[in-house]
Structure 1
């Protein structure tokens, strides 16, 4: 094979239909080819070593190349690679379910294993419908979500996703879902205090429940931190007050912890430990296996489970599941990942490192191109804007195209300097492997600082503007 890199690009352009494929560019992409990975680094087709800023896709908790992960996966695959989860059981999924029940907050002691985050959300939403049908409340089906929420790519997950550019060309069940205004404090009106903003956003939830009728609302679904929506950290107290409203109106609270679970905020789950709430359901995935294999889970309140099981079941079966629910090899990977996180005290490491990470992140605000920085634990976002263009009244689609290119420029400079970022339009999001060290955080954010400055200087020359 004379040109293996060229052949990979050819196959990539001619055969692989990627997630979120930008179709006008089909056949002409020159994506970076990641050849191998080790620790917090990935290596591209030129051998360049890059810090993995996004941690895969929010999932690479324990870092790449862990030999004991490969050994645990291989051992399970050789011993028993598959088991029919509809009628059989085996050690790995039962041990994992018991471990997750042990780690979960409150009475979330029932675990439904899925194939990933989207199917975990689908399972949670389907349970809400099943639960209310079994209790004789067939009208209690509406789901309240939020702008900028991301809850997956399955039909139900997309139905409650509030990122409209992820939905523009797809059909969704518009009668089922309702979206509350953004909880991003950076977008609050000038002069509004953070407390007043929080009060208004909490009131949005109760007003929507009252508008629809509590007898019609099945659940409120919320990421503790809206990850793909731009690492939006809600005002302090917002989530707990929303949880209290849900309890008052008999509305189930679904915490989507696909990103925030398994150490990202320094705890196994963020709901209770960070935000003081005990959800009725939690969805999780990503860090569950540290990205080594696909797996997700829905954790369910024992109280709810008892209401639909045993003598309360009315002969019903929960007719939902997947061929790969509780896949033994994936469950073995999850158990080993959890063991590593415990043994290496990565939760404590994240809590100790987070203040420095956030201090360095927020220091980027001194750059004129940076509009906002936000984060918590080891997840962060840098939002860049060319303020004169934003304030000029530029057409929305033109501004979106410009800000997309802005993010790509920063990404290109980061790559040249040894950092991989994940640009979401004009946002650079970070969720590095939890094993990252203090000096590596400094290196990562030093690179981003220089990349943003280079981009700013380019734009000043091209646009004839003085941003600094």
Structure 2
């Protein structure tokens, strides 16, 4: 079918995520036909580096025949089985494997359909536990501004991104947001350590005001990825976990992005940030995006308090596609590839070069902050009314950089005055250089449009 026809059908009938309703049926998207390694190819024959790895997901890169073979074999053998009445070999093997990779005592897993339902499962488990313990009032979830946790009702309710612009409803009664944790916005003269103190005090103050008897959980991303790759100050996660333990508040670590290698470890909670949470939610990288799958890992500490002698109490949470055997087979093959190819070690080895190239972009007069960790990066433009460039123009920086990068063969993800990127873990050092050469050239181009008088060194 001609590519123009595909685009026309898409515009007429396909409602995309985060669609601009003012341009409904007029939004233009390029048609991706196939991928190989870190590259995508469109219907015009263009080769594009996939800077965001799809949606923070494609860890092992595109075109992996061994993944396709594992999926096909499972489809032919057993495409589906009800998780209510049976188990399957892939589901049991994956449960054992994932819990063996998880930190501490997170020895139980419930498989879900994606990250949103994994977060829902963690929150519903907290509800179930506190009802079991006779504490029906202990249900508030504390979250952070700029945090992103999903699109289902509960997950969206604990998401702190640009809520004021949404026409959706949220659960307001049992959610409390703490202010932005981004060290980039700290006042002039404040050290990172002082900022950490202030952010921990945010949580202390909320616990005191709301009452620990009313707070069921604190949810946090190790790195607030969709909020702009926000890296909390050193020691923040450990200190907030200690506060949660002190007040019997469950700690949910949302590793939907950071899990499965993005920072060079299976999970970032303990190996990078030194914490053992009560829950870890994950998705995306668990299958490298080849099939949809999520997981909620639950600690023995929580499970031991949920179970008891009264066997008539059910745990009524689950999905038609929980532990889908084909998705579980894909996850097992994905983990095998990451292990056999040493991709975690590879990420740890090349991340310093990735971060060095990223940091060099701060030399641009239109870039306020270039931050990242592992294979995560964000460029945040200046947002200052005092500059010659109007604030309304600066807000378009992400879109302008996206446009300039795409014209040069690179996809990035624009977000207001930011653009983010998180390439497949298989990216080589030479490909990192190619990627950042494109970004630097694109930044220079946008500098001219914004009237900047300086250029990158």
TM-score range, shorter chain: over 0.9
Cα distance in 2 between the residues matched to 1:184 and 1:241: 16
Cα distance in 2 between the residues matched to 1:145 and 1:409: 31
Cα distance in 1 between the residues matched to 2:312 and 2:387: 61
Deviation at 1:307, TM superposition (A): 1.5
Q: Which residue of 2 aligns with 1:452?
A: 443
Relative to structure 1, is the Cα distance of residues 119 and 167 closer, same or farther in structure 2, using a 3 angstrom cutoff?
A: farther
Gaps of 5+ in 2: none
Cα distance in 1 between the residues matched to 2:211 and 2:333: 45
Deviation at 1:380, TM superposition (A): 0.9
1:443 corresponds to 2:434: yes
Deviation at 1:405, TM superposition (A): 2.8
Q: Which residue of 1 aligns with 2:339?
A: 342
Cα distance in 2 between the residues matched to 1:188 and 1:118: 30
Cα distance in 1 between the residues matched to 2:363 and 2:389: 25
**What is the correspondence of 1:370-381 to structure 2 with a 5 Å cutoff?**
370-381=367-378
**What is the correspondence of 1:314-463 to structure 2 with a 5 Å cutoff?**
315-385=312-382, 387=384, 389=385, 399=391, 402-460=393-451
**What is the correspondence of 1:60-459 to structure 2 with a 5 Å cutoff?**
60-165=58-163, 168-311=166-309, 313=310, 315-385=312-382, 387=384, 389=385, 399=391, 402-459=393-450
Deviation at 1:386, TM superposition (A): 5.8
Cα distance in 1 between the residues matched to 2:293 and 2:32: 22
Report runs of 4+ in structure 1 exceeding 4 Å deviation. Answer: 390-394, 465-468
Please report the TM-score for the alignment, with normalisation by the length of structure 1: 0.95
Query: Is the Cα–Cα contact under 8 Å of residues 127 and 139 in structure 2 kept in the other structure?
Result: yes
Cα distance in 2 between the residues matched to 1:23 and 1:367: 34
Deviation at 1:309, TM superposition (A): 1.6
Partner SS, residue 271 of structure 1: helix
Query: Is the Cα–Cα contact under 8 Å of residues 369 and 467 in structure 1 kept in the other structure?
Result: no
Deviation at 1:193, TM superposition (A): 1.2
Deviation at 1:166, TM superposition (A): 7.8
Deviation at 1:164, TM superposition (A): 2.1
Please report the TM-score for the alignment, with normalisation by the length of structure 2: 0.97
**What is the correspondence of 1:19-34 to structure 2 with a 5 Å cutoff?**
19-34=17-32
Number of corresponding residues = 455
Cα distance in 1 between the residues matched to 2:302 and 2:165: 32
Query: Is the Cα–Cα contact under 8 Å of residues 38 and 49 in structure 2 kept in the other structure?
Result: yes
Greater Cα offset, 184-193 or 219-228: 184-193
Partner SS, residue 198 of structure 1: helix
Partner SS, residue 396 of structure 2: helix
| Cα deviation code 1:31-68 (max 9, x no counterpart) | 11111100000012211111110011000000000000
| Cα deviation code 1:160-203 (max 9, x no counterpart) | 00002486211101111111111100000111111111100011
Cα distance in 2 between the residues matched to 1:417 and 1:425: 21
Partner SS, residue 336 of structure 1: helix
